[in-house]
A and B are shown apart, each in its own frame.
Chain A
Amino acid sequence: MRGVVRRFLLMILTVLGITLLVFALMAAGPGGVAAALRPGPGEGESAERAAREAYLEGRYGLDRPTAEQYVRWLGRLSPVKFGRPPRIGPAGERLEAPRAPSPPVLLEWAGVAAAPAPSSDNVGSDWRAAADRAARALAGYFAARAEYEAVLRRYARSAGEVGAIDASGRVVPERLRRRPMDPSNAETPAVVEAARRAAAAHGAARSGCEAYGRALKTSALPSAGFVIVPGAVYLDRPDLGMSFSRGRPVADLIAEALPITVLLNLLAFALVYAIGIPAGILAAARGGTWIDAALRAVFIGLWSLPIVWSAVMLQGFLAHAGRLAWFPPTGLHSPGADEWPMLPFTDESGAWRAGFLGDALWHLCLPVACLAMGSFAVLSRQTRAAVLENLHADYARTARAKGASERAILFRHVLRNSLLPIITLFAGVFPAMLSGSVVVESVFNIPGMGTLIFDAVMLRDREVLMASVLMVSVVNVLALWLADVLYALADPRVSVA
């Protein structure tokens, strides 16, 4: 039991490591996480653009160091959160005042003092109006900042500052700061003016955000989450972010896709074990005969079979409308299946229909077969090896000597002892199958996690990308932990360490 708990804690550590890996991968791209998520020049309308900037600013802190961006992101993801819990809005959404954005760059260089936050005493308790004001102030600030950066770019270009504009067209403040501003440059007055405006807008945005925060605090809205230490620590559901390409929270997208992928894999898994173990036992029991040799060839063939190929072939030859249309080629449901009852039925014309469930299963036949094919060979080979080894063990010889039948030896003695390595094999089979579902879902057009992440790549939606890789990994790690626990239960000698 202690081992199981220890293992669970290690698993949490692993998940933390995976968040770091995923974030590091995203940050490794040109420009880092923030730059990649930021709308490009001329991308999107100004209102949507500002909303996106505000979102990214709050979630990552756009101009912060990468390490801080990671910590902020992790704070959003973690179910254990620090600080004051957000309020729950009327539609069930989490309401939180946006973090004050970072001030515009190079203010002191341009000789402009940061605007002091205007003290707003007239705090209304109307959080809606405050939210509106904060959003407008933020949008105003982002527009002013974009304008300021554009002017800075012009200045850098006319001042001949090489390297002050990076590959993505953004200003590099460090390069400009090296030399004091050139007063004789034609763009200088414009820079100062734009900096002044950006500083003022920043002050307004900051006070807007603070006012919104105060309004929320005084409002009668209920608090979200489960408070552990008042004002400091609370539990709440992880915030997976917002998908801008689809205009929906990422959590919703994953909640739709993940069950499909898990179902696909569980079905395939059941099939793998249902076929794999008997086939392995058969091969071992007939060890050395032609059956064994044939099964060995089949196993190594199936083991090497690329899922891509089997999926394309099965779909093309068995499901294509132009050929044997035994199975539906793509999707998860027939059109109109939503209105069918669960179980098979006969429609008004007297024709037999499979029903909603049967229809879904029929759609899943080929994908599940594709996923299972490679894995079951691995399992069978392992079973065969384990059974064969045990058949030659001393205890099997003893049983044989005392006159037990071969059948009894195989099923009573050998099989039980051979099952242990089969449980550990879970750790090898499950991740491979999960990653195979990317291909299978893509070929058969099944709206699972693989399709979600593939579409996210195509739409360049990093929020979906990060969250879905993370969630799939969590499922994977949980499954591996479960396998460990099962192993400990099955074999009392093993303390799960």
Chain B
Amino acid sequence: MRGTAEPGRGTASDRARRVRPETVAALSWLAVAALAAAVAPIVASGHPIVLHRLDESGGITATEYPLWRMLTGADRAWLIAGAGMIAAAVMGAVRARRMAWWALGALVAGGMAAAAATAPRPRIAVFDYAERQARGEVRAVYTLIPWSPNERPGDRDARMLPPGIFEDEPLANLPREGVADDELFDARLWPVLVERVDRLPVPSATRARIVQRLADEHFTRHGLSGGEAERIARDCLRGGRRHLLGTDAHGQDVLSNMIHAARTAISVGVVAVGVATILGVLIGSLMGYIGRWVDGVLMRVVEVFMGVPLLFILVAASAVLPRSLAATMLVLGCFTWMGAARLTRAEFLRLRGQDFVLAARAAGLPTWSIVLRHLLPNAAAPVVIDASFSLAAVVVLEASLSYLGLGPPGRASWGLLMQSAKGEAGDFAWWLAVFPGLAVFLTALSYNIAGEALRDALDPKTHR
């Protein structure tokens, strides 16, 4: 890359250096998504980072770190992968490129494999930190987005809330139709709430404002139900943070879900495409290298797999096979290998008769050496380019399956969020359609743009 002396590499290196802005944007988005996936449990969690237990007089008796304690093995694996990614980026910046790529590859692959292998199924949870805080038992410091993706409100009024920030967004647009009279705010709760707010460890001005808001807007004017009032109060007690991008049909935070869903999207994409590429290269090289009847038979197999419309067979498979993250990855991989196989076959057919292969054969090299050392590296470019486009396709497929409710169960997914956009009551929850859909779209778009850039860089035949 650095040398300009070689005349043959001049153009390639020039072309590589002229990185188009959309490529930079695409890679940036992918980096953001991957980073979000890696650090999701630290950035978005309903568990406080620090939890001080308080005694009667407000003194600290003990200190816990629930967020760290609740990290699973998968979370740690993801964090290691994220650290590897950052390290690779840093090393890339100081131009130790080869090492950077190896570090990145090894860490990301290792982390994802570990994450896929060990990830337990997250359960729906109701957290009690806020209540304990309200009772004055504890004081908590939360992370950036103080919601876990699977955290549901404890009361029965789980409603889809539109995006809003507590400090600015008026809560007047909270849905309040359908609140029965007997559900209206129970006046007996009021002194309890005020008392709780009074004991909050925040400046008195904030306390006063919270009380003011509770009194003015929510209870008297909007006739909210007791559960709703409780919930708002609880949100206030949590440092005034509301759901930045709203909530879904179960009352779960959308932003937190989206950050955690980046994990599902990226790991499903990478593992499924990895499976598909390995399978495809294996089958394709068999077809291309051996030829004859093997080629004929395997070509029929390729045609059989290409004859079945993908989503139909995926939907059918989800009905039969056990539903889990690993199964989703494997099934997606096993039904998308045909492109890689055909490309590998074509490349092998093209290369098979070329001089360097004949020379290798004449030199008496074993078959595995000819295939692995000589043919495969020369056949890799189209497969790698195709893998990038496959990533885009698989991300969209995963979202579609999750939208249909057939994705990996119990896991945050962009597709699953879109599912509740068409609300039960017939409202259109636009925030559930726009934000997760945009994430799917941007990820697919980025993979496609990256694929195009790869093609321009690797494939000298295409002239735009």
Are the chains A and B members of one assembly? yes
Using a CB–CB cutoff of 8 Å, the interface residues on chain A facing chain B are 10, 13-15, 17-18, 20-22, 25-26, 28-30, 36, 297, 300-301, 303-309, 312-313, 315-317, 320-323, 431-432, 434-436, 438-439, 442-443, 449-450, 453-454, 456-457, 460, 462, 465-466, 468-469, 472-473, 476-477, 480
Within 8 Å CB of A309, what residues of B?
399, 418, 433, 437-438, 440-441
Judge whether B444 is part of the interface by a CB distance below 8 angstroms.
yes
Q: Contact check, A313 vs B433: say whether CB atoms are below 8 A apart.
A: yes
Q: Mark B282-325 against chain A: 1 for CB-CB distance below 8 A, else 0.
A: 00000000000000000011011111111111011111111000
Q: Contact check, A10 vs B300: say whether CB atoms are below 8 A apart.
A: yes
A379 smallest CB distance to B (angstroms)? 16
B418 in complex: contacting residue of A312, A456, A469, CB < 8 Å: A312
Complex alpha-carbon distance, A323 and B438, angstroms: 20
Within 8 Å CB of B400, what residues of A?
306-308, 438-439
Q: Contact check, B445 vs A469: say whether CB atoms are below 8 A apart.
A: no
Complex alpha-carbon distance, A303 and B448, angstroms: 9
Q: Contact check, B404 vs A438: say whether CB atoms are below 8 A apart.
A: yes
Q: Contact check, B404 vs A442: say whether CB atoms are below 8 A apart.
A: yes
Within 8 Å CB of A22, what residues of B?
308, 313, 316
A316 in complex: contacting residue of B301, B428, B440, CB < 8 Å: B428
Q: Contact check, B319 vs A456: say whether CB atoms are below 8 A apart.
A: yes
The 7 A-B residue pairs with the shortest CB-CB distance in the complex, in nearest-first order: A17-B304, A309-B437, A435-B311, A29-B320, A304-B445, A435-B309, A457-B319
Complex alpha-carbon distance, A36 and B322, angstroms: 13
Judge whether B426 is part of the interface by a CB distance below 8 angstroms.
yes
Using a CB–CB cutoff of 8 Å, the interface residues on chain B facing chain A are 22, 300-301, 303-313, 315-322, 392, 396, 399-400, 403-404, 406, 415, 418, 421-422, 426-428, 430, 433-434, 437-438, 440-441, 444-445, 447-449, 452
19 CB < 8 A contacts A-B? A20-B304, A21-B313, A22-B308, A301-B445, A306-B399, A306-B440, A306-B444, A307-B400, A309-B399, A312-B437, A436-B311, A438-B404, A442-B403, A454-B315, A457-B319, A465-B319, A466-B316, A469-B312, A476-B309
B308 in complex: contacting residue of A305, A439, A462, A473, CB < 8 Å: A473
Q: Contact check, B392 vs A304: say whether CB atoms are below 8 A apart.
A: yes
Q: Contact check, A308 vs B309: say whether CB atoms are below 8 A apart.
A: no
Please indicate which of the listed interface residues B22, B312, B422, B434 has the most CB atoms of chain A within 10 Å of its own CB: B312
Q: Contact check, A308 vs B440: say whether CB atoms are below 8 A apart.
A: yes
**Interface SS, B side:** helix
Complex alpha-carbon distance, A10 and B300, angstroms: 8
Complex alpha-carbon distance, A306 and B404, angstroms: 14
Complex alpha-carbon distance, A304 and B428, angstroms: 24
Complex alpha-carbon distance, A17 and B298, angstroms: 11
Contacts beyond the supplied A17-B300, A438-B309, A472-B309: 10 A-B pairs with Cβ under 8 Å: A25-B317, A308-B400, A312-B418, A317-B430, A320-B428, A431-B306, A431-B307, A439-B403, A469-B316, A473-B309
Q: Contact check, B406 vs A457: say whether CB atoms are below 8 A apart.
A: yes
Within 8 Å CB of B404, what residues of A?
438-439, 442, 454
Please indicate which of the listed interface residues B304, B392, B449 has the most CB atoms of chain A within 10 Å of its own CB: B304
B313 in complex: contacting residue of A315, A317, A449, A469, CB < 8 Å: A469
B24 smallest CB distance to A (angstroms)? 15
A300 smallest CB distance to B (angstroms)? 6
Within 8 Å CB of A13, what residues of B?
300
Complex alpha-carbon distance, A472 and B312, angstroms: 8
Complex alpha-carbon distance, A360 and B22, angstroms: 41
Q: Contact check, A312 vs B422: say whether CB atoms are below 8 A apart.
A: yes
B320 in complex: contacting residue of A10, A25, A450, CB < 8 Å: A25
B295 smallest CB distance to A (angstroms)? 13
A497 smallest CB distance to B (angstroms)? 11
Q: Contact check, B307 vs A14: say whether CB atoms are below 8 A apart.
A: yes
Within 8 Å CB of B428, what residues of A?
316-317, 320, 322-323
A307 smallest CB distance to B (angstroms)? 7
Complex alpha-carbon distance, A25 and B301, angstroms: 15
Complex alpha-carbon distance, A316 and B421, angstroms: 8
Complex alpha-carbon distance, A29 and B319, angstroms: 9
Please indicate which of the listed interface residues B392, B400, B430, B444 has the most CB atoms of chain A within 10 Å of its own CB: B400
A473 in complex: contacting residue of B300, B307, B433, CB < 8 Å: B307
Within 8 Å CB of B303, what residues of A?
10, 14, 17
Complex alpha-carbon distance, A57 and B400, angstroms: 36
Closest to A474 in B: B307
Within 8 Å CB of B448, what residues of A?
300, 303-304
Within 8 Å CB of B307, what residues of A?
14-15, 17-18, 431, 473, 476-477, 480
Q: Contact check, B309 vs A306: say whether CB atoms are below 8 A apart.
A: no
Closest to A319 in B: B428
Q: A14-B304, A313-B434, A435-B310 are in contact. Are A457 and B318 (CB under 8 A)?
A: yes
Q: Contact check, B321 vs A308: say whether CB atoms are below 8 A apart.
A: no
Q: Contact check, B403 vs A465: say whether CB atoms are below 8 A apart.
A: no
Within 8 Å CB of A462, what residues of B?
319-320
Complex alpha-carbon distance, A239 and B313, angstroms: 21
Q: Contact check, A308 vs B396: say whether CB atoms are below 8 A apart.
A: yes
A281 smallest CB distance to B (angstroms)? 17
Closest to B427 in A: A322
Q: Contact check, B421 vs A312: say whether CB atoms are below 8 A apart.
A: yes
B68 smallest CB distance to A (angstroms)? 36
Within 8 Å CB of A457, what residues of B?
315-316, 318-319, 406
Please indicate which of the listed interface residues A25, A30, A454 has the most CB atoms of chain B within 10 Å of its own CB: A25
Complex alpha-carbon distance, A439 and B427, angstroms: 20
A138 smallest CB distance to B (angstroms)? 28
Complex alpha-carbon distance, A306 and B393, angstroms: 9
Complex alpha-carbon distance, A297 and B21, angstroms: 12
Q: Contact check, B320 vs A36: say whether CB atoms are below 8 A apart.
A: yes
Within 8 Å CB of B321, what residues of A?
25, 28-29
Within 8 Å CB of B300, what residues of A?
10, 13-14, 17
Closest to B299 in A: A10
Complex alpha-carbon distance, A13 and B297, angstroms: 11
Q: Contact check, A460 vs B441: say whether CB atoms are below 8 A apart.
A: no
Q: Contact check, A431 vs B437: say whether CB atoms are below 8 A apart.
A: no
B386 smallest CB distance to A (angstroms)? 13
Complex alpha-carbon distance, A67 and B438, angstroms: 46
